[in-house]
Amino acid sequence: MQPEDMRAMLERQKRAHLADMMPDAAQRMDRLDRLAAMTGDNVEAICAAISADFGNRAKQETLLADIYTVQSGVAHARRHVRAWMKPRRVATALTMRPGHNRLSPQPLGVVGVVSPWNYPYDLAIGPTLAAFAAGNRVMLKPSEVTPRTSELIARLAEKYFKPEELFVVLGDAKTGQAFTELPFDHLIFTGSTPVGRLVAQAAAKNLTPVTLELGGKSPAILDASADMGRATASILHGKCFNAGQTCIAPDYVLAPREKVDGFVEAARGAVTRMYPTLANNADYTSIVSDRHYARLQGLLRDAEEKGAKTVALNPAGENFDPALRKIPPTLVLGATPDMKIMQEEIFGPLLPVIATQGLDEAIAFVNGRDRPLALYWFGEDGANRDRVLANTISGGVTINDTLMHFAQEEQPFGGVGPSGMGAYHGHWGFETCSKLKPVFVQSRFTGAGMLRPPYGATFDRLLSMLKRFS
């Protein structure tokens, strides 16, 4: 799609917004209902398109991470949107009474959404449902890396929505760049930190506010008090789900030095239970593209050349046809900061394991790097847990499991610093896509007129009184 065509569609949506600036609850719920129908009516087609784009994507992973998450988010928004829309009374200073304050949520207008390839349906429709709940129109640019899914979303959007409500822009990275330069009323981007920087710069030209859902290197801290079997099973599930192609996947493990060997053996057992075979196992997802497959192989080679020991968790001892783009879950022992695998977000089933001497060293290791999107802590020692929570900063935390904080509609999801800015999910998505407009309602019985010129002794006495009561 050409930039002038995108701009024309944006203007068309803005005109539609100006003609109906405050959609009522019934209109918003109707759009949410149509999102739910678009999802529920086309589950098989969505699963098939995503699997075809990946080469193989476990259907159950799509059902959980792309279908269920959207359906759950829509259901939650439907239950609460009437309450979210209501103006809220807020406290009024004694000196301003009998006037009163209220906060009125108002739709921003047109929200742009740029979604990634790793969860290509959920991360396109999740921000869209937040924008709809808040009463906005949406232009969506899905990823060109998953073209079948993007094309399916475009066809479904055309079937279930008017272009003035939801319009899907297809195209390559150049199209995506032009999309981010449009003067949206808000822009939600999910993707890598380097691209997020470019998106922020493009949006800044129009002073478009942005929500950036990025990534980074999310640590899993294994405490000395952790149940090794339970913790390792959770960490390996988080790393192997979608073959590690998850922005909140555990990117590396910090383990007490004396626990590393036990972790390796527990990891072997965890992978064997989940995937007795890998190469032709439909439960084990492929890497999305040849480029990403080659990148992951390069990370392993670089680590090995710089002295790391790699341990492939390959229960059946299979050989892997590169055409399948599958890589066995692989531990990287002895990883050091100069290795690329410790400098880049991995986004694959490779897991560095860093030996630490005590919790202070683990905390210092996390704090010596960019603030991560997620942090995972495993253990039973409440004091150590609280030390980690108090002395690290991350977008979100799951204790004694991985990934699960993403699924909480009653909690905001978002990053911090290089892992993102802003948040959505549930009420936070509604507020992200709304202007919370402060309104002060003056009473007819106000003394404010005494603060107007001509100034004199009355003004001085009233100002002195205001100071005493403030």
213 in active site: yes
Supply the pLDDT for residue 448.
83
Task: Map out the domains of the chain as residue ranges.
Answer: 3-214+418-437, 218-414
Q: One of 61, 165, 213, 345 is an active-site residue; which one?
A: 213
* Chain centroid to CA 178: 22
Supply the pTM of this predicted model: 0.95
Question: Is residue 344 among the annotated active site residues?
Answer: no
Q: Give the neighbor-by-neighbor strand order of the sheet with 186-190.
A: 166-168, 137-141, 110-114, 186-190, 210-213, 420-421
CA distance 174 to 62: 28
The reported pLDDT for the residue numbered 104 is: 97
Catalytic residue among 47, 247, 409, 431: 247
Predicted local distance difference test score (pLDDT) of residue 445 = 87
The pLDDT value given to residue 450: 84
Composition of the chain by helix, strand, coil, percent to 5? 50, 15, 35
Tallying the residues shown for the chain, one arrives at 470
Sheet holding 309-312, edge to edge: 309-312, 330-333, 350-356, 250-256, 218-222, 374-378, 396-399
Mean pLDDT, consecutive 10-residue segments, the chain of 470 residues?
95 98 97 98 98 97 98 97 96 89 97 98 98 98 98 98 98 96 98 95 97 96 97 98 97 97 98 97 97 97 97 96 96 96 97 96 97 97 98 98 95 96 96 96 86 90 86
Handedness of CA 222, 227, 228, 232 (dihedral sign): negative
Place of tokens 């630490």: 356
**How far apart, in whole angstroms, are the C-alpha atoms of residue 297 and residue 354?**
20
Superfamily, domain 3-214+418-437: Aldehyde Dehydrogenase; Chain A, domain 1 (3.40.605.10)
Residue-level pLDDT at 95 = 83
**Predicted local distance difference test score (pLDDT) of residue 259:** 96
pLDDT recorded at residue 94: 84
How far is residue 423's CA from residue 402's CA, in Å, rounded to a whole number?
19
> Under CATH, to which class is 218-414 assigned?
alpha beta
On whether the CB atoms of residues 144 and 15 are closer than 8 A, the answer is no
Nearest CA-CA partner of 49 in 100, 135, 121: 121
